Chain A
Amino acid sequence: MKFRIYRYNPEQDAAPHYQDYDVALEPTDRMLLDALMRLRQQDDTLSFRKSCREGVCGSDAMNINGKNGLACITNLNDVKEPVELRPLPGLPVIRDLIVDMSQFFKQYHSIKPYLVNDTPAPEKERLQSPEDREELDGLYECILCACCSTACPSFWWNPDKFVGPAGLLAAYRFIADSRDLSTSARLDNLEDPYRLFRCHSIMNCVDVCPKNLNPTKAIGKIKDIMVKRAV
């Protein structure tokens, strides 16, 4: 199978370049990650992140034939040859397919991604109705792979100011949680021309999310609450 892969090693290369590979696959190689592991047996200098190999840890996000996705759950039958692999767009490249995700996590951390409830905890669990719990479905499952934020032009232009789809999805995950008591502070934290309102609902995030989540919808809900609170 033919591959065309973005290569950049800061110790050797003045500029990034593409390298072509032809990899002999085994019948058991099913996913793109399997092919990359096969490829590394012939060239151990190719660097990429990987861990769970089942789409739940979020390590191996990359740009696959122009679209962000996870290598471990991208079926080789579904990709056109030569498979062009690039690092996630918009973030600084450390090496080959590995990007520096500091900015992405900084934005995630900026929304205070933890439950806030300063009332004394009961002896047992805080009760939550199944309906209230259902509000979290489609929100808590995010794996922080950054496919969405790095597919978003607003995040490309303003990664330091716009929270981005992953961070905003997390923000809404806590706003929507009946146990969280800091909605108003969370909204204050987002009421800003950039942090929330740079989202123009072009839905690139929805298009690429490997977990089929819908950050645009969550962002829309935050905007709705923001408007309601203003009137």
Chain B
Amino acid sequence: MRASLQLSEAGLRVAVLSKVFPTRSHTVAAQGGIGASLGNMAADNWHWHMYDTIKGSDWLGDQDAIEYMCKMAPQVVYELEHFGMPFDRNPDGTIYQRPFGGHMANFGETPVQRACAAADRTGHAMLHTLYQRNVRANTQFFVEWMALDLVRDAEGDVVGVVAYEMETGAVMILHAKATVLATGGAGRIFAASTNAFINTGDGLGMAARAGIPLEDLEFWQFHPTGVAGAGVLITEGVRGEGGILLNSAGERFMERYAPNAKDLASRDVVSRAMDQEIKEGRGCGPEKDHVLLKLDHLGPDVILKRLPSIREIAIKFANVDPIKEPIPVVPTIHYQMGGVPTNVHGQVVAPKAGNPNSVVEGLYAVGECACVSVHGANRLGTNSLLDLLVFGRACGNFIVDQNLRARGQRSLPADAGDLSRSRLARIDGATSGESVPEVAQQLRRVMTHHCGVYRNQQLLGEGVAKVMEIEQRVARMSITDKSRVFNTARVEALELDNLIEVAKATVVSAEARQESRGAQARSDYPERDDANWLKHTLWYRDGNRLDYKPVNLKPLSVDAFPPKARSY
């Protein structure tokens, strides 16, 4: 919606397709904040933010894109405030900023308050504000339309999408001069996930089927604090406000793993520490399968003012009132660092004729579905909302500058709708076969078991084999419901086609990468290996093939941050 806003305000004809009403997209569930070096609480600057992001990424992030994002951050936050975003405020009337994991001043020295927050509902406030601003700009929404496949012409240019209207079951082609994927992540390939049901990687599936590679899909962020058993997110802002993690001995164990940043170390670091505590028998509860997030010492005032939704979630999903008791938490799948490869304008890029970043004309991607790559091997908390603001805006502006009005419309190829039609025919034609919910559940189990916090060759090798078996089952799936009107069984079958592509990309890329970096922790290769693996993975659906491309270590204007050891 940040991209569509630029397009609508420039007077272009925009159609925003969304599987759900726009304020129901998963951005709504983001809690903690938006990272931007406003310096409202203490001195801060974008260069420090840039360093934190690169260090957080374990040096896999592209430094040009990271510089651009961190430099633009204050401006996009101010714009959002001007749009009406209800940020919390300081006594002087400026935007309130809270501490967050990995946010440091002076190139990693001491914590700094950088996360611009609206209580613990920042994503909700932001998504509604962006929708509201799009209403003002008369953006046209196609609500409850699911995009099925990209349409590429003979030159490989993208000229639109095939889409499915849920209410009627109609399949339509939307012919467009520019197509922007903003379809979010695919966290639903895992069983324990903070993600919404709709996060099925539809844009990634579409890209993969259209022959476009997927980048760095082995990197999946475990959020340290998902409610044990339920998976619902508890924001890092809890630890930002002073909450701490405890093991069964009541020990604040993060002091051992990250003596400086402690509970506010990077998410991959905290998640691994929790996993290790649990594996070594210091987990809590009868099954010793979780740790505790203690925040009662913050007092009811802070909890009710800054973390009201967290209290609601804890009461509803964990039966505890955090004003009195700690919340049981476990590392839970949260964010996909990889995605459809793009440049800083949001243009989708793929290797062609020796150029690793050749532009796929007509196609753009922004947000979690894209890999620009600002998150590298591990995303810094609050950089996801920032990513979609900065690159949504940049992508919109870039498209406006293309002066599309003056350009003719490329014609649709004769076979434009064939792939989607054949997928639907397969699903509707099968009178018996595999049950969609069962196959999806099996996929999530396999991914959770074989692609967890710690991975190794044996787990990943078996994982690849099992996922490939599940792919055969996906090919045989069938649904009972054959009706046209709001057939949610058919939608879930179409989503499973996308989930399986992301799962294959993930497990195949993870098996190949023989090192530990950011969110990919290999117990058989415990060290980062810059000599061999300081490079981006590219997975192609065709033949399950892998390719690699270099990381951009050259920022736009400042000196590069060369890789070094990473400690918090």
Contacts and interface: CB of A to CB of B under 8 A. Distances in A.
A54 B29 contact: yes
A229 B492 CA distance: 53
Given A57-B196, A101-B21, A141-B121, A124 B78 contact: yes
A50 interface: yes
B329 interface: no
Interface string B53-97: 000000000000000000000100110011110111111111100
A123 interface: yes
Contacts of B486: 47, 94-96, 98
23 contacts: A9-B483, A9-B485, A11-B484, A41-B438, A44-B437, A44-B489, A44-B492, A51-B26, A52-B29, A52-B196, A54-B232, A56-B28, A73-B316, A94-B167, A96-B486, A105-B21, A112-B136, A114-B133, A123-B78, A125-B81, A125-B82, A140-B118, A180-B84
Contact of B198 (A40, A51, A179): A51
Interface in B99-119: 118
A177 B82 CA distance: 12
Nearest to A43: B480
B45 interface: no
A163 B316 CA distance: 31
A44 B436 CA distance: 9
Interface string A163-194: 00000000000100101100000000000000
Contacts of A113: 132, 135
Given A56-B124, A56-B309, A125-B94, A140 B317 contact: no
Contacts of A105: 21
Given A51-B197, A56-B29, A75-B316, 6 more contacts: A30-B230, A41-B438, A44-B436, A95-B486, A115-B82, A125-B87
B464 to A, nearest CB: 27
A55 B24 contact: no
Nearest to B19: A51
Contacts of A96: 486
Contact of A55 (B91, B132, B316): B316
Contacts of A128: 89, 93
A144 B121 contact: no
B124 A143 contact: yes
Interface centre among A28, A53, A132 (most CB of B within 10 A): A53
A10 B485 contact: yes
B171 interface: no
A231 interface: no
Given A9-B483, A143-B124, A57 B81 contact: no
Contact of B485 (A43, A73, A94): A94
Contacts of B435: 41, 44
A143 B128 CA distance: 9
B21 A144 contact: yes
A51 B312 CA distance: 18
A203 interface: no
A112 B136 CA distance: 8
B481 interface: yes
Given A30-B230, A52-B28, A123-B78, A115 B83 contact: yes
Given A47-B488, A52-B24, A54-B317, A114 B92 contact: no
Interface of B: 20-21, 23-26, 28-29, 38, 74, 77-78, 81-84, 86-95, 118, 121, 124-125, 128, 132-133, 135-136, 167, 196-198, 229-230, 232-233, 309, 312-313, 316-317, 435-438, 479-481, 483-489, 492
A227 B90 CA distance: 33
B481 A58 contact: no
A228 interface: no
A137 B286 CA distance: 39
Contacts of A51: 20, 24, 26, 196-198
Contacts of B436: 44
Contacts of A48: 488
A128 B317 CA distance: 35
Contacts of B481: 44-45
Nearest to A48: B488
B197 A53 contact: yes
Contact of A127 (B92, B125, B196): B92
Contacts of B26: 51-52, 57
Nearest to A109: B135
Nearest to B90: A130
A104 to B, nearest CB: 10
A173 B539 CA distance: 47
B83 A44 contact: no
Given A73-B316, A133-B88, A141-B124, A57 B29 contact: yes
Contacts of A43: 480
Interface centre among B121, B128, B484 (most CB of A within 10 A): B128
B28 A11 contact: no
Contacts of B95: 125
Contacts of A180: 84
A128 B91 CA distance: 9
Shortest Cβ-Cβ A-B pairs, 5 listed: A115-B84, A127-B93, A44-B489, A114-B132, A57-B24
A141 B124 CA distance: 8
B179 to A, nearest CB: 23
Given A128-B89, A140-B86, A12 B135 contact: no
Interface centre among A10, A45, A109, A121 (most CB of B within 10 A): A45
A2 B320 CA distance: 28
A75 B315 CA distance: 11
Nearest to A57: B24
A37 B436 CA distance: 12
Interface string A115-139: 1010001011111111011001000
A73 B483 CA distance: 30
A9 B482 CA distance: 11
A59 interface: yes
B93 A177 contact: no
Nearest to B168: A94
A123 B480 CA distance: 58
A214 B353 CA distance: 61
Contact of A129 (B81, B89, B135, B480): B89
B78 A114 contact: no
B485 A44 contact: no
Given A44-B489, A125-B94, A59 B20 contact: yes
Contacts of B88: 130, 133
Contacts of B84: 114-115, 174, 177, 179-180
